[in-house]
Every structure is written in C-alpha cells, then in structure tokens.
Amino acid sequence: MSKWEKRNRPVRLERRFDFENYEKTRNFLEQLGDLSELKKIFPDISFGKTYVNITLRPQDDSPDAQLQDVERQFALEIDELFH
C-alpha cells in the first residue's frame, strides 16, 4: 500500500490524490462513487478543485476495531482508479 498512510488513533488509512484539473478530479470521484456502491464501503472523502483526500476506517465500529483485508483491498482498488 505504497502511498496510503496508516494511522493508529483512531485506526485508519489515509491518502491524498492530486489531479491536473477539475474534470479529472470529478471523473475520479464518479468512479469512486460507483466502486463504493458496488463494494458497499463508504470512505470519508474531502476534495477540492484538484485533489481528493480519502480516509478508510474499519468496517467494524467497535472501539478496538482493526483494519481488515477488505479495507486494504479496497484501498488497492481505489489506487487502480487513479492510474
């Protein structure tokens, strides 16, 4: 997970994606929305004209939840959208 950063308090994966222009940002967000609907995983997203920040948290919302393979795999699938 090359560019994803793992944080521990709270446990999460974070990554920033930078784009050349708003059209590319919008296209990425549309593809991400489709992927999220398909996988039923809905990350925290913030964005601007030429960037998107994504935070993936454990699907289990218990206080001691840890990241699982499903979140790591989803991060890889998001990376594929970016290429």
pTM over 0.85, yes/no = yes
- Which pLDDT value is given to residue 2? 64
Question: Residue 8: its pLDDT value, please?
Answer: 92
The pLDDT, as a whole number, for residue 83 is 80
Quick one: how far is CA 20 from the chain centroid? 19
pLDDT at res. 21: 98
Decide if 74 contacts 38 (C-beta within 8 A): no
Largest separation between any pair of C-alpha atoms in the chain: 39
Q: Exposure of 80 by Cβ count < 10 A (0-12 exposed, 13-18 middle, 19+ buried)?
A: exposed
* Number of domains the chain contains: 1
Q: Give the range of the structural domain holding residue 30, as residue numbers without chain letter.
A: 5-82
Taking 70 as the pLDDT cut, the residues of the chain under it are 1-2
Cα(32)–Cα(21) distance, rounded to whole angstroms?
17
